[in-house]
Amino acid sequence: MSLTVAEVRHIANLARLQLTPEEERRYAQQLSSILESAARLLEVDTAQISPTATVLPLQAPLRPDIPRPCPPREKMLSNAPDTEAGMFRVPPVLE
């Protein structure tokens, strides 16, 4: 299994990561060797095996639906790089 630079560029875009051309080359090589080392996994016969998403026996535990106070707005905005009128401020989303 080997990844091309074009595939790396596609994955990086899906993951919202801007890469330099040098990073694209290096990740193509490194991700390919990691995937190659995982190849033996693909040979295991798992036709009869169900997947494990969690090790816990819990089945979506329920709790009473009781309202509780939210943290104050200023506190939740205090780490934001930019705010306006009590909201997060971002650059234009649409053209």
Interface residues with another protein (CB under 8 A) are 3, 8, 11-19, 23, 26-27, 30-31, 33-35, 37-38, 40-42, 44, 46, 49-56, 58, 60-61, 63, 71, 75-76, 78-82, 88, 90-93
**Spatial distance between the Cα atoms of 51 and 5, rounded to a whole number of angstroms:** 32
Tokens of 3: 């990844």
Nearest-5° Cα angle at 45, 39 to 46: 105
Least distance CB 11 / another protein (angstroms): 5
Yes or no: say if 25 and 5 are a contact pair by the CB < 8 Å rule. yes
Residue 92 CB, nearest approach to another protein (Å): 6
Smallest separation (angstroms) from another protein to the CB of 26: 8
